[in-house]
Chains A and B, each alone.
Chain A
Amino acid sequence: MKTVLFLLVFLPFLGALSLAVIGRHLPRRVGEMIACLAVLGSFVMAIIAFVSAGQKSQTVTLLPWFGVGDFSAVMSVYYDPLAAVMALMVTFVSSLIHLYSVSFMREDEDYVRFFCYMNLFVFAMLVVALSDNLLFLYLGWEGVGFCSYALIGFWYSDEVKATAGRKAFVLTRIGDVAFGIAIAFFFLIYNTLSLSSINEQAASLSAGMATALGMLLLWAAVGKSAQLPLAVWLPDAMAGPTPVSALIHAATMVTAGVYLLMRFFPLISLSSTTLLTIATVGAVTAFFAACSALSQKDIKRILAYSTISQVSYMFLGVGAGDLIGGMFHLLSHAFFKALLFLAAGCVIQALNEEHDIFRMGSLRSRFPVVFWLFLAGALALGAIPPFGGFFSKDRILLATFIHPDPAYKILWVLAAVTALLTPLYTFRLFFIGFLERPSATRESSQDKQGLRPVPKLMVWTLWPLAILSLIAGLLNLSSILSGNEWLARYLSPVPGTVPSLAASPALEGRMEMGTGLLSIVMLALSYYLYRPQKFLVTPTPGALPQNLEQLLFFGFYLDRFYQIAVVRPYQKIARFLWVRVDEGGLNEGFDRTGKLFPVFSIGLQLWTTGRLSTYLKMLLLGFTVILCALALGWYPW
Chain B
Amino acid sequence: MTFYTGIFYVLAFITAIATFMAITRRHALHAIVYLIISFFGTALLFYLLGAPFLALLEVIIYAGAIMVLFLFIIMMIQIRPSVQTWAAALKQWLPVILLGGIAFSLAVAMVFADPATPIPLKPAVAGPREFGHFLFEQYWFPVEIASFLLLIALVGALYLGRREGKSPANQTEKAP
Contacts and interface: CB of A to CB of B under 8 A. Distances in A.
Nearest to A634: B110
Interface in B94-114: 95-96, 99-100, 102-103, 106-107, 109-110, 113-114
B106 A628 contact: yes
Contacts of B100: 620
A620 B103 contact: yes
Interface string A613-637: 0000100110110011011001101
Contacts of B99: 617, 620-621, 624
A637 B106 CA distance: 13
Interface in A109-152: none
Given A635-B114, A637-B113, A624 B102 contact: yes
Nearest to A636: B113
Contacts of A624: 99, 102-103, 106
A608 B109 CA distance: 33
Given A617-B95, A617-B99, A634-B110, 6 more contacts: A620-B96, A624-B99, A627-B106, A628-B106, A631-B109, A635-B113
Interface residues of A, number: 12
A617 B96 contact: yes
Interface of A: 617, 620-621, 623-624, 627-628, 630-631, 634-635, 637
Contacts of A623: 103
Given A617-B95, A617-B96, A620-B96, A630 B102 contact: no
A620 B96 CA distance: 8
B104 to A, nearest CB: 9
A620 B107 CA distance: 14
B113 A627 contact: no
Interface of B: 95-96, 99-100, 102-103, 106-107, 109-110, 113-114
A614 B99 CA distance: 13
A634 B109 CA distance: 12
Contact of A630 (B95, B96, B110, B114): B110
Given A635-B113, A635-B114, A637-B113, A627 B107 contact: yes
Contacts of A621: 99
Contacts of A635: 110, 113-114
Given A617-B96, A620-B96, A631 B102 contact: no
A617 to B, nearest CB: 6
Nearest to A632: B106
A362 to B, nearest CB: 99
Contacts of B96: 617, 620
Contacts of A630: 110
A628 B103 CA distance: 8
B98 to A, nearest CB: 9
Nearest to B101: A624
15 contacts: A617-B96, A617-B99, A620-B96, A620-B99, A620-B100, A620-B103, A624-B106, A627-B110, A628-B106, A630-B110, A631-B109, A631-B110, A634-B110, A635-B110, A635-B113
Contacts of A637: 113
B50 to A, nearest CB: 28
A617 B97 CA distance: 11
Contacts of B95: 617
A611 to B, nearest CB: 12
Contacts of A634: 110
Contacts of A620: 96, 99-100, 103
Nearest to A624: B103
Nearest to B110: A631
Contacts of B113: 635, 637
Contacts of B102: 624, 628
Contacts of B107: 627
A549 to B, nearest CB: 85
Among the interface residues B102, B103, B110, which one has the most CB atoms of the partner chain A within 10 A? B103
A624 B113 CA distance: 18
A532 B96 CA distance: 103
Nearest to B114: A635
B114 A631 contact: no
B88 to A, nearest CB: 13
A276 B106 CA distance: 86
A617 B107 CA distance: 18
A623 B106 CA distance: 11
A387 B110 CA distance: 110
B82 to A, nearest CB: 13
A628 B107 CA distance: 9
Nearest to B100: A620
Contacts of B114: 635
A634 B106 CA distance: 12
A323 B113 CA distance: 96
The residue among B95, B96, B106, B107 with the most chain A CB atoms within 10 A of its own CB is B106
A623 B114 CA distance: 20
Interface centre among A620, A623, A628 (most CB of B within 10 A): A620
